Amino acid sequence: MEHITTPKVENVKLLDRYTNRKAANGTLYLTATHLIYVEASAEVRKETWILHHHIATVEKLPLATAGYPLLIHCKNFHVAHFVIGQERDCHEVYTSLLKLSQPVKPEELYAFSYNPKMSKENREIGWKLIDLKVDYQRMGIPNDYWEITDVNKDYEAAICRCSQPLSGFSARCLEDEQMLQAIREANPGSPFMYVVDTRPKLNAMANRAAGKGYENEDNYDNIRFKFIGIENIHVMRSSLQKLLEVCEMKSPSMSDFLTGLENSGWLRHIKAVMDAGVFLAKAVKDEKASVLVHCSDGWDRTAQVCSLASLLLDPFYRTFKGFMVLIEKEWIAMGHKFSHRCGHLCGDPKEVSPVFTQFVECVWQLMQQFPCAFEFNERFLLEIHDHVYSCQFGNFLGTCHKEREDLKIFEKTHSLWPFLLQKKQELRNPLYRGFTAYKELQPNTLPFSFQFWCGMYNRFDKGMHPKQCVLDHLLSCVSQKMKLEDSASELENKLPFLDGPLPSEACSLSKVGHAVSKTPMLNTPQDYEGDPPPVLSNGASAGDMDVLADVDQRNKENLFHHQDLCDHSDTIDMLDSEAKDGKPQHH
C-alpha cells in the first residue's frame, strides 16, 4: 500500500475505442491488488477490474480537451483508455501503477497474499491433485528400459530434455553420444532415432561459433537429424507486438487488417510450432521411432513442441485432468522460465516472450479443426492464460522447481487446478465425444487452416459485437435441458398425489406412462411424439390445479425447445464427421 498515494479519483472517463458512444464517467480506485473503475452513469452498477500483475505497460498521452489520458495495455490483451481531469491525479495514478505492476521481490506477488479462506489441509490436497508419477505409471514407466529416479534430488546435476550440445565446429562428447545410443536402444522397435533441433539452421550454425551448435550425424550411431525452424523469443515478441497493433487499429478495412495480420508473421509462427508437433507425432506413431528434441536451452520451443505432440498422440491430455498434467510435466516441471517470459518481476524486458501464449493458441487452433475431441472449451484456455500472468496462484511462479521450493510456494500459496475444477461445468465443451472417440489427431497445417483468434486478442472489445459462439449457445441449451429435467423430476414426484385420469384420457396417459417407464427423464422433448400430455381435470383441488397448470406450461416449454436441441444435435454430428475426415472447420 506504500506505493498508493491517491487511492481514489472521481470524474474519470473510460473511452471505448470501437464505438462512438459517449465516454463512461465514473470513479477510479487503487487497491493493493487491483485497479477498479466504477461507472457512475450506468443504470446497473458496472465495474471494471484490472489486476496489477496483468498490466504490461502504462502510458501518459498528450493532454486532450477532456483531460489527461492514461493508456493501459495488459498482458491478457485488455486495453483501458482513461481520461483523468487533473494532471496531478493522473501522474500519481501513473506512478503508482508503474510500481504496483512491476514488483521487485517474489514475496510481493499476489499469490503470497491471496487468501481464499481455505484450510491448510485443503491447500495441501490441492497441490497433490496432479501427480506426475501417476502419469508416468499410466504410460508404463518404470519398465525394463526406463526408471524414475531421485538421483538429482539435491539439484547437483541437470538432466535436460535437452539443450543444444557444446559441440562447436569439431568438439565431441562421448558421454552425450552414449546417452543418445542408450535412448535409441531403449526402443527395440526402431533401428534409428530422430534428433530434432527446433531452431532455424542459420541460428544453430551461428551458435557453433560460440562453441555450441548441434549434433554431428557422423559422431552418432543411427540418428536422423532434422531442423524445424521456429524463431527465437525476440522474433516472437516483435511479432506479437505487430499483431496487437493490427488489433488496435481504429477502423481498418478488411484489406488493411489482413495485410497487417500477414505482415505481423504471427500465424506463420503458429504454423511453424504446429508443424513441429505434427512431425514428432508422426515419427512416434507412423515410424515407431524415438525422438530427442532440443532448442537452445530446452525450455521454450522444446516445451511447445513436446506438449503439442503429446496432445496429438494421447486423448488423455485433451481432458481437464490430462491438460493440467501436461502443463505440469512439460512446462512447470521441465523448467520453463515463467517468471522471465511473463515479466512477473521487474527485470530484463528482452527476456519477456509469448512462448506459452503460442502454445495455448496452437491448442485453440486444434480445437477449431477437432471441435469434438477436447473435453474443455475456449474459456478454459483463457482462464489458464490469464492466471499464468495474474500471479494469483503459485503454479507458474519462479523459473524451476528448486526456485519454487526455495520460495515455499507449496506452503504459502494455492494451486490453480482445484479452482478450475470447481468451474468445470462452465468450462466444459458440450461437443465432446468422450475419451475413446478420437485417438491420434492429424491436423491440416496448410496456411488457410489457421484462423485469427478474436476471442483471445479482442475479447475485451465489446464494441466489436462478434456473432454468438455456437458453443456458448450449446452450453445455454444444455443448461436449459438440465433445468427442465430437474423440473420434470420434481413434477414426477408430485404425480402420485393426484387422482387417476378420466376414462377418455386413459389412452393418452398410458402412452406417457410407457415413456416414463423407459426413461427417468420425464417431460423431456424426446418423450413426446405428438401432442403434450393432457392436463388432468378430474376434480382436483384448487392447489392441485396450480400444479397441473404448471405441468401444462412446462410441457409447452419443452416442445418449444425440442427443435432447437435437435438442430444442435445435427450440428454436433456434422462437426464430428468433418473433424474425423481431417477437414478444417469454418463454422
Q: Sign (positive/negative) of CA torsion 415, 419, 420, 422?
A: positive
Centre a 10 Å sphere on the Cβ of residue 167 and count the other Cβ atoms it contains.
19
Q: What is the dihedral of CA 86, 87, 91, 97, to 10 degrees?
A: 40
C-alpha cell at 250: 481504429
108 Cβ contact partners less than 8 Å away, ≥ 6 residues apart: none
Under a CB-based contact definition with an 8 Å cutoff, are residues 320 and 372 in contact?
no
Q: Name the packing angle between helices 542-580 and 470-494 (round to 10°).
A: 150
Verify whether residue 295 is a known catalytic residue: yes
Per-residue cell: 49: 477490474
**Cα separation of 105 and 263, whole Å?**
38
Amino acid at 55: I
Q: Which of 74, 295, 372, 400 is catalytic?
A: 295
Contact 364, 358 (CB under 8 A): no
Cβ neighbours for 44, distance < 8 A, ≥ 6 positions apart: none
Pairing of strands 223-227, 193-197: parallel
**Rounded CA gap, 198 and 95, in Å?**
41
Question: Residue with C-alpha cell 508419477?
Answer: 133
Residues serving a catalytic function are 295
